[in-house]
Amino acid sequence: RTPSQGMMGGQMMGNMGSTATTATTAKTAAHQLALPPLLKPTSASKTKVAYTLTAQTGALALKKGAKTATLGYNGNYLGPVLRVKRGQILQVTTKNKLKQATSFHWHGAILPGNVDGGPGQSVAAGQQKTIAFKVSQSAATLWYHPHAMGSTAKQVYQGLAGLIYVQDAVSQKLNLPDKYGVDDFPVVIQDRNFTANNQFDYAADHQNDGTTGKTLLINGTLNPYIKVTTKLVRLRFVNGSNARNYRLTLSNGQAMHQIATDGGLLAKPVAVKTLKLAPGERAEVVIDTSKLTSQVTVKNGQQRVLALRLASNRRQQGTLPNELTTLPTVDTTNAQHQTLSFSGMGSMVSINHQQYDPSRVNLTAKQGQNQVWTLKNTGTMMGNEIHPFHLHGVQFRILSINGQTPPANLRGYKDTVALTPGSTVKIAFKFQDRGTYVYHCHNLEHEENGMMGQIKVS
């Protein structure tokens, strides 16, 4: 090493060490993790469950001093958990009490295009709209968030996002940890910056290549912990950040057992020491604390995400089976092939050199026909970024990443996949329903800048 290299290294280390993140984490007192309420249905039967969701303004006491102005569904920040069983009709009355248009998109849901809440389906300020669709997919942790063109990124940043838990016979038979807030916790990970007056400042933080913040908010909690009273604890991680990618580890180096991806259970648990999550992705893990004697922390690099405070007498509750579910083999017979190339940066991002135009249908497909899509992140000469590819209305399977079989924890149902710089990812799926759907980069600023296209399924 030459002295100058050494100094550069030292400076970089110094900069990293002095970021507000580290400082904030160290100074902020620990808080018990906030749990989004389980929403009470307005009506429920064997075949149908109905909910009401209201997008509204709110305020959160996050720091000493002024409250942070926020947006939330039925509350101050984020939204409640909607629970639905496979086979039931999910009906949601969506109300917009904001002073601006919003939309209610059901991310990861397999549903007809006209109820998916995409960019063309806004609910105007003061208006409401009721949608319904039959839930025909496997048990999974899905989520909902706004999708109106031009305001998606800002509204999500201010707090609009919530969870949908789909349950089915397979998931209910497994005896996995599933007591909400006891041994089964949602963990929505978001990053934010604050003004001196404790406000989210989207305008000032806005970056064309993705808005990121130095401080983590987990379910809207700063520096959170959970009390662990059972040997097994299940965490449902949701990357609800606009643009930040996470690499989650446990502070003691122990592996987590990943049991589910975006769209449902894996065939069997997969031990993962580092769990990567791009914006929009979800992963459910079970952590075995039976051999632990002191607190363990979920971390993202040096940053604390969630501390697990262990009760001394932890109960045996729930199990981690060797087999979880049977995933069908991927069928690619007579598939229609598409190639999508993701390129550019900042405001110049595009898919196949086109930017989103609401009046243009970029692709067409037939309902029920097998699809094989090749997704390429061709990068730019100027910079390299991960583009998390997301397609509405389906769950897909990953056939290959750079020609290789995907790692075991990416072999389940997915609706979002990270395209790392220079990579090629092949996916397979079919549209079960009809309508017009969007596909886009889930870096929300890239999406707003036009890294999105439309497909018409007939």
Please state the closest distance from residue 416 (CB atom) to ligand C2O, in A: 7
What count of other Cβ atoms lies within 10 Å of the Cβ of residue 358?
10
194 vs 388: CA distance, rounded Å: 26
Please state the closest distance from residue 318 (CB atom) to ligand C2O, in A: 29
User: Which of Cu ion, ligand C2O, none binds 86 (CB below 5-8 Å, type-dependent)?
Assistant: none
User: Which of ligand C2O, Cu ion, none binds 446 (CB below 5-8 Å, type-dependent)?
Assistant: Cu ion
Which is closer to ligand C2O, CB of 225 or CB of 439?
A: 439
Please state the closest distance from residue 148 (CB atom) to ligand C2O, in A: 11
User: Which of Cu ion, ligand C2O, none binds 414 (CB below 5-8 Å, type-dependent)?
Assistant: none
282 vs 248: CA distance, rounded Å: 12
Please state the closest distance from residue 376 (CB atom) to ligand C2O, in A: 20
User: Which residue from 261, 239, 236 is spatially nearest to 412, judged by alpha carbons?
Assistant: 261
Please state the closest distance from residue 121 (CB atom) to ligand C2O, in A: 11
Residues that bind ligand C2O (CB under 6 A): 105, 107, 145, 147, 280, 390, 392, 438, 440, 442
Which is closer to ligand C2O, CB of 242 or CB of 371?
A: 242
Which is closer to ligand C2O, CB of 331 or CB of 357?
A: 357
Q: Is 387 in the site for Cu ion (CB under 5 A)?
A: yes
Please state the closest distance from residue 433 (CB atom) to ligand C2O, in A: 16
170 vs 77: CA distance, rounded Å: 32
Q: Most distant CA pair in the chain: distance in Å?
A: 72
Q: Is 441 in the site for Cu ion (CB under 5 A)?
A: yes
56 vs 138: CA distance, rounded Å: 31
Please state the closest distance from residue 259 (CB atom) to ligand C2O, in A: 22
The secondary structure of 143-189, three-state, reads: EEECCCCCCHHHHHHHCCCEEEEEECHHHHHCCCCCCECCCEEEEEE
User: Which residue from 276, 261, 239, 262 is spatially nearest to 442, judged by alpha carbons?
Assistant: 239
Which is closer to Cu ion, CB of 19 or CB of 378?
A: 378
User: Which of Cu ion, ligand C2O, none binds 304 (CB below 5-8 Å, type-dependent)?
Assistant: none
User: Which of ligand C2O, Cu ion, none binds 105 (CB below 5-8 Å, type-dependent)?
Assistant: ligand C2O
Q: Which residues pair with 228 in a beta bridge?
A: 310
Of the candidate residues 223, 401, 446, 453, the single one contacting Cu ion (CB under 5 A): 446
User: Which of Cu ion, ligand C2O, none binds 441 (CB below 5-8 Å, type-dependent)?
Assistant: Cu ion
Which is closer to ligand C2O, CB of 85 or CB of 440?
A: 440
Q: Which residues contact 170 (CB under 8 A, 6 or more apart)?
A: 138, 139, 265, 324, 325
**Residue 88 vs residues 9, 186, 326: alpha-carbon distances, Å:** 57, 23, 22
CA atoms lying within 13 Å on the CB side of residue 336: 14
Which is closer to ligand C2O, CB of 112 or CB of 177?
A: 112
Q: Which residues contact 368 (CB under 8 A, 6 or more apart)?
A: 430, 431, 432
269 vs 323: CA distance, rounded Å: 7
User: Which of ligand C2O, Cu ion, none binds 107 (CB below 5-8 Å, type-dependent)?
Assistant: ligand C2O
Contacts with Cu ion, residue ranges (CB under 5 A): 387, 441, 443, 446
